Amino acid sequence: MEAVHVRGPGVATLAIPAAQTAYDGWLAFEWARTEAWVSAFHLAEERKRLGLTQRQVAELMGVSPGRMSQIENGDLEVDEVATLSRYARALDARLRIVFGYGNDLRQIA
């Protein structure tokens, strides 16, 4: 099946079957972008809850304040698990990876 690959800032590449309508492709892209933003929002809220600034967390992670801002605005590729792990360590937390299968959640890391 031929696929169209759609990519936007901070969102992993989506492979969309070419037979789908343009609207379906747009909707899938926007859904992924929204999920990235919501995840980033939760990261920022946790940082604020702990009383840390973006600059402090950036220093703890070893990234620039600009990159820290990008991360908290959803500019985070799906394969950047190492970045999320450093973020968690900067907040004195542990990264856990969970696969969700409907109501069934499986921690894999």
pTM: 0.57
Specify burial of residue 46 (Cβ count, 10 A radius: 0-12, 13-18, 19+): middle
CATH number for the domain harbouring residue 89: 1.10.260.40
**Tens digits of per-residue pLDDT, 32-58?**
777 777 778 888 888 898 999 999 999
pLDDT of residue 35: 74
**Are 80 and 95 in contact, with CB atoms under 8 Å apart?**
no
**Are 71 and 90 in contact, with CB atoms under 8 Å apart?**
no
pLDDT confidence bin for 17, thresholds 50/70/90: low
- Residues with Cβ < 8 Å from 36, sequence gap 6 or more? 10, 11, 74, 75, 76
- Structural domain of residue 8, as residue ranges? 3-107
Q: How many domains in the chain? A: 1
**Tens digits of per-residue pLDDT, 71-80?**
888 886 644 7
pLDDT, averaged across the chain: 77
